[in-house]
């Protein structure tokens, strides 16, 4: 999962692509593979800001591997899904790409991705959830590049005004702080929580995972009517029933501005917000902190981010593996953090000065990564997520959580292979 919304998948396009792949075949033969030391051009697609920044890093790679020219094509997150599908159908995919976590399942299902050589890349080098999100039937198809996880941002000055001087560690604590913000500190709301619409599941997932629940059960089928899921939906609903969260969602709402304006003094989001607050709201310096998401049974957020994948049709798999190795070394991961503020997926990178001396907020995100859960690589993830968003919209409006969970289970069962 990346920081912007993905384009909704077209079932017709996907079906057409499957047919096209069946007709054209998939995967370059071993005989036409260029060796890593051969003179060659490696084509790479990268998205968002990463698409621009990686070009500088590619020059560093070429300095060490002068025989490999890296051609980077920046692609917007809003169009990459369709471009990848079209390129797969036409047989014009690049050699490798950055791929968002929620896209992995679809391209694994389509047979477009080359399995990862686990003799070269060790899953124990990465935070568990970043690796698991790329695995289907025991085979990994992507190497974690950077990670996103979520933590709780809260206004310490307003908390003190409300008579609370410590971070909320449990659901009970968070309820109490949200109420105190509104009743004693005079804020409009206690917690920013999206009641529905695309992406609402992102705010609910920490509730679910912190109960010990999961999106899928051990049998690989949806587990959205479990007691843990009902409990998470009930907790989510509380904030709307109690008037502590805003029921009407406005797309594009700027949570940073609301945070600074004393309207929404607490919200859950990713690490990039640290820099946004420092740059956009400097007057808040020393008036806010980051804490792990409050615990139900545990404190468990979720992991998104991006991995590096090599496509089966590539004729430059050895070179792609070399670039992937280069980008995922601890030193390069730390360097990438300094350039982009994207969290390293490599555990060892966090022991280097850039991360180790990064301050209290960064330490919280490291803690969150260690306990976070993966989003399973489902081929129909967008439809699955849309069903969760719809259920949350009903729950925030007052629907019975148990009934909503039962319907959600039924609505998602056909979306999991």
Q: What is the CA radius of gyration of the chain?
A: 22
Sign of CA dihedral 355, 356, 361, 363: positive
Span 17-28, mean pLDDT? 42
Q: Is residue 4 part of a domain?
A: no
CB proximity list for 168: less than 8 A, separation 6 or greater: 152, 154, 174, 176, 177, 291, 294
Residues 260 and 338 in one domain: no
Please provide the average confidence, as pLDDT, over all residues in the chain: 92
Evaluate if residue 29 carries a pLDDT over 90. no
Look at residue 49 in the predicted model and tell me its pLDDT.
82
Going from the C-alpha of 252 to that of each of 2, 4, 77, 255, 394, the distances in angstroms are: 16, 11, 16, 9, 21
How many domains are contained in the chain?
Answer: 2
- What CA–CA distance (Å, rounded) separates 38 from 32? 12
Look at residue 370 in the predicted model and tell me its pLDDT.
96
Residues 363 and 394 in one domain: no
Residue 31: band (very low, low, confident or very high) from pLDDT cuts 50, 70, 90: low
- What CA–CA distance (Å, rounded) separates 206 from 299? 8
Look-up of token digits 């980077």? 72
Look at residue 188 in the predicted model and tell me its pLDDT.
97
Residues 58 and 72 in one domain: yes
Q: Is residue 161 part of a domain?
A: yes
Residues 187 and 285 in one domain: yes
Per-residue pLDDT of 131-180, as tens digits, reads 999 999 999 999 999 999 999 999 999 999 999 999 999 999 999 999 99
Per-residue pLDDT of 58-103, as tens digits, reads 999 999 999 999 999 999 999 999 999 999 999 999 999 999 999 9
**What is the extent of the structural domain holding 57?**
11-149+304-373
Residues 77 and 121 in one domain: yes
Look-up of token digits 């039962």? 406
- Per DSSP, the three-state class of 416 is coil
Residue 52: Cβ within 10 Å count: 12
- Cβ(232)–Cβ(405) below 8 Å: no
- Cβ(45)–Cβ(98) below 8 Å: yes
Residue 250: band (very low, low, confident or very high) from pLDDT cuts 50, 70, 90: confident
- Cβ(223)–Cβ(215) below 8 Å: yes
Q: Is residue 350 part of a domain?
A: yes
- Cβ(287)–Cβ(156) below 8 Å: yes
Residues 349 and 333 in one domain: yes
Q: Is residue 1 part of a domain?
A: no
Per-residue pLDDT of 201-211, as tens digits, reads 999 999 999 99
Look at residue 50 in the predicted model and tell me its pLDDT.
87
Q: Is residue 398 part of a domain?
A: yes
Q: Is residue 3 part of a domain?
A: no
CATH number of 335's domain? 3.40.190.10
Q: Is residue 260 part of a domain?
A: yes
| 151-155 vs 266-269, strand pairing mode | antiparallel
Q: What is the pTM of this model?
A: 0.90
Residues 170 and 259 in one domain: yes
Residues 409 and 266 in one domain: yes
- What CA–CA distance (Å, rounded) separates 19 from 16? 5
Look at residue 249 in the predicted model and tell me its pLDDT.
86
Look at residue 24 in the predicted model and tell me its pLDDT.
41
Per-residue pLDDT of 369-410, as tens digits, reads 999 999 999 999 999 999 999 999 999 999 999 999 999 999
Residues 158 and 248 in one domain: yes
Residue 261: band (very low, low, confident or very high) from pLDDT cuts 50, 70, 90: very high
Q: Which residue has the higher pLDDT, 108 or 16?
A: 108
Evaluate if residue 366 carries a pLDDT over 50. yes
Neighbour-count burial of 236, counting CB atoms closer than 10 A to its CB (0-12 exposed, 13-18 middle, 19+ buried): buried
Evaluate if residue 341 carries a pLDDT over 90. no
Residues 122 and 32 in one domain: yes
Residues 137 and 286 in one domain: no
Residues 184 and 321 in one domain: no
Q: Is residue 249 part of a domain?
A: yes
Look at residue 395 in the predicted model and tell me its pLDDT.
98
DSSP H or E segment with residue 308: strand 302-310
Residue 19: band (very low, low, confident or very high) from pLDDT cuts 50, 70, 90: very low
Span 307-324, mean pLDDT? 98
């Amino acid at each position: 999962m990346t920081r912007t919304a993905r384009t909704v998948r077209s079932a017709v396009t996907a079906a057409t692509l499957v047919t096209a792949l069946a007709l054209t075949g998939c995967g370059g033969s071993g005989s036409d593979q260029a060796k890593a030391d051969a003179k060659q051009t490696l084509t790479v697609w990268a998205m968002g800001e990463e698409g621009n920044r990686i070009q500088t890093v590619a020059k560093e790679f070429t300095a060490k591997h002068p025989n490999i020219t890296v051609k980077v094509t920046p692609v917007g997150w809003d169009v990459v899904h369709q471009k990848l599908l079209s390129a797969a159908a036409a047989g014009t995919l690049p050699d490798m790409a950055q791929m968002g976590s929620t896209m992995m399942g679809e391209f694994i299902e389509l047979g477009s991705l080359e399995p990862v050589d686990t003799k070269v890349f060790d899953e124990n080098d990465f935070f568990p959830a970043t690796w698991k999100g790329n695995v289907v039937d025991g085979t990994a198809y992507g190497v974690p590049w950077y990670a996103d996880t979520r933590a709780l941002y809260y206004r310490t000055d307003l908390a003190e005004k409300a008579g609370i001087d410590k971070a909320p560690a449990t659901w009970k604590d968070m309820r109490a702080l949200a109420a105190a913000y509104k009743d004693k500190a005079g804020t409009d709301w206690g917690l920013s929580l999206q009641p529905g619409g695309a992406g609402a599941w992102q705010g609910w997932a920490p509730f679910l995972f912190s109960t010990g629940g999961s999106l899928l059960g051990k049998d690989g089928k949806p587990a959205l009517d479990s007691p843990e899921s009902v409990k998470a939906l009930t907790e989510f609903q509380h904030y709307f029933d109690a008037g502590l969260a805003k029921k009407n969602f406005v797309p594009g709402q700027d949570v940073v501005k609301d945070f600074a304006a004393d309207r929404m003094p607490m919200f859950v989001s990713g690490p990039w917000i640290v820099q946004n607050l420092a740059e956009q709201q400097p007057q808040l310096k020393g008036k806010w902190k980051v804490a792990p998401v409050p615990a139900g049974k545990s404190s468990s957020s979720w992991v998104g981010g991006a991995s590096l994948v090599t496509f089966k049709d590539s004729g430059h798999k050895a070179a792609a593996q070399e670039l992937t190795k280069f980008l995922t070394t601890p030193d390069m991961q730390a360097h990438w953090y300094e350039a982009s503020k994207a969290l390293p997926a490599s555990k060892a990178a966090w022991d280097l000065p850039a991360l180790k001396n990064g301050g209290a907020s960064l330490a919280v995100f490291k803690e969150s990564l260690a306990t976070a859960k993966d989003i399973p690589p489902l081929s129909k993830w967008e439809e699955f997520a849309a069903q969760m968003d719809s259920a949350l919209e009903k729950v925030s409006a007052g629907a019975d959580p148990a009934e909503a969970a039962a319907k959600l289970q039924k609505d998602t069962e056909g979306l999991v292979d």
